[in-house]
Chain A
Amino acid sequence: MAMKKSAGERVGITILAWLVGFLIFFPILWTFLTSFKSELDAIAMPPKFLFFNWTLENYAEVQQRSNYLKFAFNSVVLSIGANLIGLLIAVPAAWSMAFAPGKRTKDLLMWMLSTKMMPAVGVLVPIYLLFKNLHLLDSLIGIGLVLMLLNLPLLIWMLYTYFKEIPNDILEAARMDGASLFNEIVYVLTPMAVPGIASTMLLAIILSWNEAFWTLNLTTSNAAPLTAFIASYSAPEGFFWAKLSAASTLAIAPILILGWFSQKQLVRGLTFGAVK
């Protein structure tokens, strides 16, 4: 039987939850606040929290020094583009695994997942050389391809679990109604799986937006997304904390806003199927 929590317990748990939430959010909050400080205030000891001279000079300098919009454009194109193409591949793949599994399907799914377990640096050299020889370095197509391949296992896995939730007899009804395989996927399966596809895409876009390893290694200026933008503010001479904070804030703002507005979808997407 469920125990009724006393008022005191509920208050205690609420305070704890807020504390944990604050702790998790703190780095982002600190970055945001630091972006409005002067460089001196940024490294002051003891650290200044809210009471300092708020200034916009960091943002002005960041915007002057580098073309934020170009980096942002690249991030948007890469995150959305790479994952849209990934989706085109993942939907049929997940369909075949969910509705026409073979003896090796489970093995295949496990193998795909296992590729995500390997440290990326292990294949850095071969991929770099491949890209160099194919003239794909610092190109949107090149890095887009890598981002797509990085997310493909995730896309297929998440779509697979969504498709498995769809009652098979609805698809059989479509077949009896004369739908070809293509029609079945377009008119019945996809509309029913749209919430799942949306959650999957959201997660994939966020992951691609934040992907730093390959974007930093395979791009320099043309195809560089916001990750490279932030990295360009960490110089060997030392860290310009205030400017770095301003650059970071500019880089994460779009995705933070997207995440905020789609949090319901995201949560649903990540927990779907966990509770029957």
Chain B
Amino acid sequence: MGSIQLKDVRKAFGAVSVINGVNLNIENGEFAVFVGPSGCGKSTLLRLIAGLEDVTSGEVLIDAKDMTNVGPSKRGLAMVFQSYALYPHMSVRNNIAFALKMAGQSADVIDQKVRKAAATLNLSDYLDRKPRQLSGGQRQRVAIGRAIVREPKAFLFDEPLSNLDAALRVQMRVEIGELHEALKTTMIYVTHDQVEAMTMADKIVVLDRGSVAQVGSPLELYNKPNGLFVAGFIGSPTMNLIKGAPAAKRGAETIGIRPEHADISTTAGEWQAKVRLAEHLGSDTFVHAEADGMGQMTLRLEGEAPLTPGQTIYITPRETHLHRFDKDGRRIN
């Protein structure tokens, strides 16, 4: 119905290897998110699945059928681009209808499907407008409508919310999540924003320089990162990574503690530190401190914490939430 498998997929542009042997299984109906820093290959991987780029070696299977050499128009997938990629010379109606027209469907069927998709996305009043007459959010909805109407085996999203303002991004995130609930179709979503990844995914694929660093559910990656890369990538603000004596004491090369998993006291604690800056968000307080002999640390406290720069504090990590990593950067369980 919409399962996707990648078998040892590699992609090189000339001598530059961009994807180095990726093996991946995405189940039917899953919401999988590809996340990673810029240049890690997440968009390239998506384009390989879409068929917009050819693999250098390996196989791409959709519903257990080998689609490695099949063109993008025949894979039964739909893509939502970062720049929306709407046809500027066509009305909203025709933008959404284009794929159905290419599939040779009758005018009645097309009309009906377009109306239904427009109603789902609150676009019914805009069907006769051109893309340049729409706002960013409306254009994004048209791009999604164009994808929905094809009833594809899977949706591919390439950083679709990057061009929207913060408030709209949150709203569209929720809408895409609800869409997934309603359609139950496989969705593959590429983003560099790990908040989007954590909130939307059934399964997160963290990519690092063309290879898969870890695959798992959001909470799995959050609670049990398999290495320093994933530990430092997932979670905002970043996990505090500490080497030296505190790590050796716990039998590791590096230990990690998330900003929200440490207690701060003005009187006593394991590590002494001096507050450099306290960021007051209202709901949380981020405390940036210089810990003696351990470098910078960031801590998160709930609510308002009346700490000032220069103040001495004591930090005690909660042992149950401590992560340990060996000299190769791998997790010690």
Contacts and interface: CB of A to CB of B under 8 A. Distances in A.
Contacts of B98: 174, 177, 179, 187
Interface stretch (A123-131, A164-172, A257-265): A164-172
B77 interface: yes
Interface stretch (B61-69, B78-86, B180-188): B78-86
Contact of B79 (A167, A173, A179): A173
B52 interface: yes
Given A169-B83, A169-B85, A176 B77 contact: yes
Interface in B255-280: none
A105 interface: no
Interface residues of B, number: 22
A176 B150 CA distance: 10
Interface string A168-199: 01101111111110010001100110000000
B89 interface: yes
Nearest to B102: A178
Contacts of B50: 176
B99 interface: yes
Interface in B128-169: 146, 150
Contacts of A183: 102
B81 A169 contact: yes
B202 to A, nearest CB: 23
B85 A167 contact: yes
Interface in A137-187: 167, 169-170, 172-180, 183, 187
B15 interface: no
B72 interface: yes
Nearest to A180: B73
Nearest to A190: B89
A180 B71 CA distance: 10
A178 B73 contact: yes
A183 B73 CA distance: 11
A167 B83 contact: yes
B83 A176 contact: no
A172 B52 CA distance: 7
B85 A179 contact: no
Contacts of A174: 87, 98
Contacts, number: 58
A173 to B, nearest CB: 4
Interface string B41-53: 0000000001010
B106 to A, nearest CB: 16
Size category, A interface? 10 to 19
A179 B81 contact: no
A90 B88 CA distance: 24
B81 A177 contact: no
B103 interface: yes
Contacts of A175: 52, 71-73
Contact of A178 (B52, B83, B99): B99
Nearest to B72: A175
Nearest to A193: B89
A192 B85 contact: no
B102 A177 contact: yes
B149 to A, nearest CB: 10
Given A169-B81, A172-B81, A188-B87, A177 B150 contact: yes
Contacts of A176: 50, 52, 72-73, 77-79
A170 B95 CA distance: 11
A191 B72 CA distance: 22
A267 to B, nearest CB: 22
Contacts of B99: 177-178
A80 B84 CA distance: 38
Nearest to A166: B88
Contact of B103 (A167, A178, A192): A178
Interface string A187-220: 1100110000000000000000000000000000
Contacts of A172: 52, 72, 79, 81, 85
A175 B89 CA distance: 17
Contact of B88 (A177, A178, A192): A192
B89 A191 contact: yes
Interface string B14-53: 0000000000000000000000000000000000001010
B173 to A, nearest CB: 22
Contacts of A191: 89
Contacts of A188: 87
26 contacts: A169-B81, A169-B83, A170-B85, A170-B86, A170-B87, A170-B88, A173-B79, A173-B81, A173-B87, A176-B52, A176-B73, A176-B77, A176-B78, A177-B73, A177-B78, A177-B102, A177-B150, A178-B73, A178-B74, A178-B103, A178-B150, A179-B73, A179-B102, A192-B87, A192-B88, A192-B89
Given A173-B87, A174-B98, A177-B73, 17 more contacts: A169-B81, A169-B83, A170-B86, A172-B81, A173-B146, A175-B52, A175-B71, A176-B52, A176-B78, A177-B99, A177-B150, A178-B99, A178-B103, A178-B150, A179-B102, A180-B73, A180-B102
Closest 7 CB pairs of A and B: A177-B99, A173-B85, A178-B102, A169-B85, A178-B73, A191-B89, A176-B79
